[in-house]
Structure 1
């Protein structure tokens, strides 16, 4: 059965102008027109209007509804669920900031900045930023790209549904670090000689040696060996030699690498620990912090 737009409006309960708008933008594809040029609709359009109404009531946007011709309803609803969940998390972050701000007698510009930034920086945006960061820092070096790619999942923390203010600030600082061109340049330059000559076998060996030297350094920490003491000299010397042999470099070059280490790289992982509510510092940070201090003192 065919219906005029006026009849379809009465049957569906939607205004004529709404149905006309839906037709114009492709949400309700036009079936045909009468000889006089009036739009004609059928029973399938009544059913589709009911679906459109239901989807609009739960907040599905018109662009998504228009794509129904290419997707089944399950796909559309799954997409909408992900969108709603993202919106909920964004609102929860905003609520946490507002609550923390209202607990203060005199809100500051930092509070406004936090509110503005968190409204547009969700997990999806951070993931995209991490992917761009990895591509940029890798600078065409396949092994470094693979190593950073393996780390990329860990580089995106999970912000809690009810984040504390320090977790929100850590999240914002993290995004600023990822976007910092100076930080990216610094990481590209760090270990350039090693990464340019490394292959997958070198990387596997390097990881194994890194585990070994970490255990050596942690043992020194547990034994109370101060990195600036004379007792630290044979330990850090052995560590630098092991690393040098695995990297095809000299112990002095490895020590220089520790001296040139950008502290922002360590800060990055500290921020992740804050967001994930994990203890800090972790064992690798303690170990390499000891090595850095010992290397700078005795081989700098």
Structure 2
């Protein structure tokens, strides 16, 4: 059955000018016209028009609707759901900042307005792009280093909770700034060059790191004080696994960029996880033990504790 545009408007409850607009925009493809040039529509067009109205009511844009001829409806709805979820998270971030700002007395400070502006431009998608750039740049063409950073990527991208606190939002912004910091990227690439350019096997290194963490965490949880007589053989086992001397590892700690530790602190704040992390506890115990045992001759463990 064929319908004129006026008849179709009555059947669907949509204005003639809306149907004409959809036809001109290509979301309701034109099928045929009368000899006088009037548009004609069929039952298929009527059903499509109902679908278009439904999709528009839930916010699907015209370009996406126009692509329905090339995509399954399920795919279109799935894409739209992801877009809606992204918008919701953005609105939730904005709401958290607005609530915190309005809870204070007086007019908003400049930092409040800056936070609102920055968060409006920095969602999860933008953070993912930033992190991909960080991994590629710091990886620097060294296969094992790039593989390690890729392995760590998901851990470096925390998910903001649905109701983030201002502290979590500030940590989110600081994390973005740190990942984008060219000096930090360059420092990481330069300081890790010697370690990774030795044609190191990533899987073997990962297993080594697990073993080191196990040794140090066990000692820390057992209450073995860094630098105590009981800690020395544990440190020596760790050094043997690492293939490092005390002097070499101490130099590594002294050259270590504190921004790396800050990155993991920010991730913990955003995810509301206990701090410090197990890795921070383990390497903190190793560093403290190393410094105690590398103290000037004549200084004893007892003196170091005073």
Deviation digits for residues 113-159 of structure 1, max 9, x if unmatched?
A: 22122223222222222222111111111111111111111111121
Q: Are 1:15 and 2:52 counterparts?
A: no
Q: Deviations over 1:150-182 (max 9, x none)?
A: 111111112111111111111111111111111
Match of 1:269 in 2: 264
TM-score (norm 1): 0.86
| C-alpha distance after superposition, 1:226-266 (max 9, x if no partner) | 5xx89877765654454235xxxx65444322221111111
**CA pair 156-31 structure 1, distance change in 2 beyond 3 A:** same
SS of equivalent to 2:3: strand
Q: Is the aligned partner of 1:281 residue 2:276?
A: yes
Correspondence for 2:3: 3
1:51 maps to 51
- Checking the alignment, whether the CA contact within 8 Å between 2:140 and 2:189 is kept in structure 1 is yes
1:149 corresponds to: 150
Offset, 1:24 = 2.1
Q: How many residues align?
A: 292
Q: Summarize the alignment of residues 22-171 of structure 1 with structure 2, pairs less than 5 Å apart.
A: 22-106=22-106, 107-171=108-172
CA shift at 1:105, angstroms? Answer: 0.9
Q: Is the contact made by 1:92 and 1:162 (CA closer than 8 Å) also made in structure 2?
A: yes
Q: Is the 8 A contact 2:224 2:230 kept in 1?
A: no
Q: How does 1:124-273 map to 2 (within 5 A)?
A: 124-200=125-201, 203-218=202-217, 219=219, 222-226=223-227, 236=235, 239-244=238-243, 252-273=247-268
CA distance in 1, matches of 2:246, 2:226: 21
Over the aligned positions, Cα root-mean-square deviation in angstroms equals: 2.6
Between the aligned partners of 2:49 and 2:39, the Cα distance in structure 1 is 15
TM-score normalized with structure 2 length: 0.84
Runs (5+) with no aligned partner, structure 1: none
SS in 2 for 1:159: coil
Whether the aligned pair in 2 keeps the contact of 1:33 and 1:40 (CA below 8 Å) is yes
